[in-house]
Amino acid sequence: MSDIKSVLVENRSFPPSREFSESSRVASTEEYEALYKRADEDPEGYWSEVASELHWHKTWEQVLHWELPDAKWFVGGETNLAYNCLDHQITKGLGDKTAILFEGEPGDVRKLSFSELHAEVCRFSNALLGMGVVSGDRVAIYLPMIPEAAIAMLACARIGAIHSVIFGGFSAGSLSDRIADAGISTVITADGGYRRGSVLELKKNVDEALEKTPVERVIVVQRCKNEVNWDNERDHWYHDLMAAASSEHQAPALDSEHPLFILYTSGTTGKPKGILHTTGGYMCGVYQSTKLVFDIKDDDIFWCTADVGWITGHSYVVYGALLNGTTTLMYEGAPNHPEPDRFWELIAKHKATILYTAPTAIRAFMRWGDTWPDKHDLSSLRLLGTVGEPINPAAWEWYRERIGGNRCPIVDTWWQTETGSIMVSPLPGAIATKPGSCTRALPGVSIKIVNREGQPCDTNAGGFLVIDKPWPSMLRTIYGDHERFTKTYFGEIDGVYFAGDGARCDEDGYFWVMGRVDDVINVSGHRLSTMEVESALVSHPQVAEVAVVAKPDALKGQVIVAFVTPMGGVETSDALAIELRQHVAKEIGALARPEEIRFADALPKTRSGKIMRRLLRDLASGTKVQGDVTTLEDASVLSALAAQHDEDSDEA
Ligand code: PRX
């Protein structure tokens, strides 16, 4: 882990929304503090009360079994997450209420009530069982943002199959790596999905991936009616399976610790980590955080814009919303198709009440100009949220003013794939907000800022964000690599969960997250590892050595700059730079494409041969190289790189 830089931030404050305070579950700072204290003193009591609001086939015998780093929550309890999302809501009288409100990029709209969604999920559960998918099997879901993605997830959860959703923007190579790592038996995909007016060829990517890593069966949803290659032995149309399946299915009782899903995310090495979440604890975490942070009301139309390929889509598009009996809005396409006001049009048309999106999207909207949101009636909105990266105060204020009409509070939510659910966030009726701060920990979550030795940091001093008590929705392991799990999360600072983020805590007890302290970079709210991009680049035959660093970017938060040493005899050119960028997109996915390729005859290294990334980061961001360079093996390398940068900036 590297050192923390302190950052200067504005300290403006907005009081809790009065409108919320009048009606919200946690209606004042005092109430929040009392609830927090109560949960902190007796976390097991607090979380068992939360769990009691959900349906259990069998009540647990023990709330928590904790043997660092292994947590078991609601030990001996049996439940079913899909039952809680569907059957339980129908029992409560919500059968006719819209569960999923979907709009495709071409403008097609579909509404599924809780009863209809239940029937679809039961049908698909029967279809999977009929094909031989059993509890514990791993099923990959590689779909666009269409209702079938939620149906597939819920059906897996219902029968106890472990889903692994893979974002549709990932390449065949990334798909294949994940299929191999998780031992996938079944892939659920589509003939295509719409994105910015064209068709994403998902089935084609699957076919390519499966050449390397075959699976038993592929189920294909027909979305675009485009032509696809077909393997009669392996491939099945979703609609054929559904037509033949019964809509009656009894949800089985699953152990609280039954594995629910594996979701891959980037770590510090080249190989993504399969984060494993389990049933009962995850369910309680997402249920409670949705309820408190978004202060859910019966008539909410909740729009979380994340793709289900990311944790935010899992926890808040699908599970958190449905567990609270809330209507979830799903949109398939790009925010600027056909015009940059598509989001605002959707909000006005469907009367969305909550918008939960990423700072990078907000910055893009700001750039596109106020005329786009101004054209639409956004008065249905009552709450705004952000997630995925620190939000700069200017974007925060624009969001509050232009989108929220200075009326809607903003919840800046800090959490991770690993935490499963929101850990730090204002509660809208109870906590005053400050632009750029995710404010305070949720009840039942214990966050500290500490130094390398695990000692608490002083007020406002930068340190490492850790979680010092287990929480229900925490990851249980890295699939197939428990040792890496222990080392990554519990091996850095003794006795606590190490999040990999630098942060500080101010005089009001507010957290300010400053970004990653490891080699994970955050491009448009997407997590990537520098090593992952380096591995992709060195797999190109003309590349000898490479070092990837992040450079701050006004729109995307960070962008990737790759310093590349070509193989001897290779002529560097703009064409080669373009080819290398394309190569990364093909190997990983477009989200990992470097913004810049810089060629260098050699990379700056210490005498022991370590690449001096600190210097490269300074070079990439155009700041003067700082600090000690005395261990640099060959100072001429640095001056050559610096000279190249000066030339680049002269040209610019
Ligand atoms: O660095 C933090 C940043 O995103 C990382 C987690 O990424 P991922 O697992 O992909 O999950 C993203 C969505 C939950 C964190 O380690 N991050 C997330 N939310 C915030 C944030 N940084 C600052 N403020 C946030 N609200």
**Domain containing 571 — which CATH number?**
3.30.300.30
What is the rounded distance in angstroms from the CA atom of residue 128 to the CA atom of residue 131?
5
Inside any domain, residue 265: no
Inside any domain, residue 497: no
339: left (phi over 0), alpha (psi -120 to 50) or beta: beta
Give, for ligand 1, the residue of 273, 282, 389, 417 to mutate: max count of ligand atoms closer than 8 Å to Cβ.
Answer: 389
Q: At 146, list the tokens.
A: 């269409």
The residue among 443, 446, 448 whose CA lies nearest residue 431 is 443
Task: Tell how far the Cα of 388 is from the centroid of ligand 1, in angstroms.
Answer: 4
What residues are paired with 413 via a beta bridge?
387
Residue ranges around ligand 1 (CB below 6 Å): 265, 311-312, 387-390, 412-417, 438, 499-501, 513, 515-516, 522, 527
What is the tally of structural domains in the chain?
2
Predicted local distance difference test score (pLDDT) of residue 639: 67
Task: Tell how far the Cα of 633 is from the centroid of ligand 1, in angstroms.
Answer: 36
If you take atom 22 of ligand 1, which residue's CA is the nearest one? 389
Q: How many CB atoms lie within 10 A of CB 301?
A: 20
251-259: average pLDDT:
98
Q: What is the pLDDT of residues 279-295, one digit of tens each?
A: 999 999 999 999 999 99
Q: Is the pLDDT of residue 9 over 60?
A: no
Q: Please give the number of the atom of ligand 1 that sits closest to the Cα of 500.
A: 16
Distances (CA, A) of 522 to 116, 189, 262, 333, 556: 38, 27, 21, 22, 8
CATH number at residue 156: 3.40.50.980
What is the rounded distance in angstroms from the CA atom of residue 213 to the CA atom of residue 519?
29
Task: Tell how far the Cα of 620 is from the centroid of ligand 1, in angstroms.
Answer: 23
Helix, strand, or coil (residue 375): coil
SS (H, E, C) 376-414: CCCCCCCEEEEECCCCCHHHHHHHHHHHCCCCCCEEEEE
What residues are paired with 275 via a beta bridge?
263, 478
Q: What is the pLDDT of residues 577-621, one digit of tens each?
A: 999 999 999 999 999 999 999 999 999 888 888 888 889 999 998
Contact between 518 and 1 (Cβ < 8 Å): yes
Q: At 578, list the tokens.
A: 């373009």
Structure letter (DSSP) for residue 579: H
Contact between 465 and 447 (Cβ < 8 Å): yes
Q: At 319, list the tokens.
A: 């599970």
For residue 121, give the amino acid letter: V
Q: What is the pLDDT of residues 579-589, one digit of tens each?
A: 999 999 999 99
Predicted local distance difference test score (pLDDT) of residue 118: 99
Inside any domain, residue 176: yes
If you take atom 10 of ligand 1, which residue's CA is the nearest one? 527
Q: Is the pLDDT of residue 272 over 50?
A: yes
If you take atom 18 of ligand 1, which residue's CA is the nearest one? 388
Q: Please give the number of the atom of ligand 1 that sits closest to the Cα of 418.
A: 9
Domain final residue, candidates 207, 230, 252: 252
The residue among 373, 280, 289 whose CA lies nearest residue 326 is 289
| pLDDT band at residue 649 using 50, 70 and 90 as cut-offs | very low
534-560: average pLDDT:
95
Q: At 478, list the tokens.
A: 């890295």
Q: What is the pLDDT of residues 488-498, one digit of tens each?
A: 999 999 999 99
420-434: average pLDDT:
95
Among 23-27, 83-87, 132-136, which stretch is predicted with the lowest mean pLDDT? 23-27
Q: How open is the CA angle 169-170-172, to the nearest 5 degrees?
A: 125
Q: Indicate the average pLDDT of the chain.
A: 93
Rounded-to-10 torsion of CA 598, 604, 605, 607: 160
Distance of alpha carbon 278 from its chain centroid, rounded? 17
For residue 108, give the amino acid letter: D
Q: Please give the number of the atom of ligand 1 that sits closest to the Cα of 310.
A: 10
Task: Tell how far the Cα of 389 is from the centroid of ligand 1, in angstroms.
Answer: 5
Inside any domain, residue 644: yes
Q: How open is the CA angle 621-622-625, to the nearest 5 degrees?
A: 100
Q: Is the pLDDT of residue 633 over 70?
A: no
Tokens 């698909």 belong to 124
Q: How open is the CA angle 144-148-150, to the nearest 5 degrees?
A: 95
Task: Tell how far the Cα of 392 is from the centroid of ligand 1, in angstroms.
Answer: 14
Q: What is the pLDDT of residues 191-221, one digit of tens each?
A: 999 999 999 999 999 999 999 999 999 999 9
If you take atom 12 of ligand 1, which residue's CA is the nearest one? 388
Inside any domain, residue 2: no
Q: Is the pLDDT of residue 11 over 70?
A: no
What is the rounded distance in angstroms from the CA atom of residue 223 to the CA atom of residue 148?
10
Q: How open is the CA angle 31-33-38, to the nearest 5 degrees?
A: 95
Give, for ligand 1, the residue of 277, 360, 527, 556 to mutate: max count of ligand atoms closer than 8 Å to Cβ.
Answer: 527
Give the number of residues written for the chain. Answer: 652
Q: How open is the CA angle 383-386-388, to the nearest 5 degrees?
A: 160
Structure letter (DSSP) for residue 153: H
Distance of alpha carbon 223 from its chain centroid, rounded? 25
Q: At 306, list the tokens.
A: 């994340």
Determine what percent of the chain is predicted with pLDDT higher than 70. Answer: 93
| pLDDT band at residue 623 using 50, 70 and 90 as cut-offs | confident
Domain final residue, candidates 201, 232, 252: 252
Concatenating the DSSP letter of every residue in 37-100 gives HHHHH-HHHHHHHHHHTS--SB--SEEEEEETTEEEEEET-EE-HHHHHTHHHIIIIITTSEEE
Q: At 503, list the tokens.
A: 């942060």
If you take atom 15 of ligand 1, which residue's CA is the nearest one? 416
| pLDDT band at residue 7 using 50, 70 and 90 as cut-offs | very low
What is the rounded distance in angstroms from the CA atom of residue 268 to the CA atom of residue 533?
11
Domain final residue, candidates 236, 252, 268: 252
The residue among 567, 566, 531 whose CA lies nearest residue 549 is 531
Inside any domain, residue 79: no
Tokens 């549709």 belong to 168
What is the rounded distance in angstroms from the CA atom of residue 476 to the CA atom of residue 275?
8
257-283: average pLDDT:
95
Secondary structure element (H or E) that encloses residue 155, with its range: helix 147-159
Predicted local distance difference test score (pLDDT) of residue 20: 72
Task: Tell how far the Cα of 416 is from the centroid of ligand 1, in angstroms.
Answer: 5
Q: How many CB atoms lie within 10 A of CB 351?
A: 14
Predicted local distance difference test score (pLDDT) of residue 16: 79
646-650: average pLDDT:
47
More confident position, 332 or 271: 332
Burial class of residue 508, CB neighbours in 10 A (0-12, 13-18, 19+): middle
Determine what percent of the chain is predicted with pLDDT higher than 90. Answer: 87
Q: Is the pLDDT of residue 1 over 70?
A: no
Inside any domain, residue 339: no
Task: Tell how far the Cα of 524 is from the centroid of ligand 1, in angstroms.
Answer: 11
Q: How many CB atoms lie within 10 A of CB 555?
A: 12
Inside any domain, residue 3: no
Q: What is the pLDDT of residues 24-35, one digit of tens each?
A: 889 899 999 999
What is the rounded distance in angstroms from the CA atom of residue 182 to the CA atom of residue 259?
12
Distances (CA, A) of 396 to 249, 356, 438: 46, 13, 11
Helix, strand, or coil (residue 588): coil
Residue numbers of the domain that contains 242: 87-252
Q: Is the pLDDT of residue 8 over 50?
A: no
Contacts of 319 (CB under 8 A, 6+ apart): 81, 85, 282, 283, 286, 287
Task: Tell how far the Cα of 428 is from the centroid of ligand 1, in angstroms.
Answer: 20
Whether the upstream peptide bond of residue 456 has omega within 30° of 0, thus cis, is: no
How would you classify the pairing of strands 520-523 and 109-113?
Answer: unpaired
What is the rounded distance in angstroms from the CA atom of residue 582 to the CA atom of residue 590?
8
For residue 543, give the amino acid letter: V
475-504: average pLDDT:
97
303-328: average pLDDT:
98
pTM as predicted: 0.94
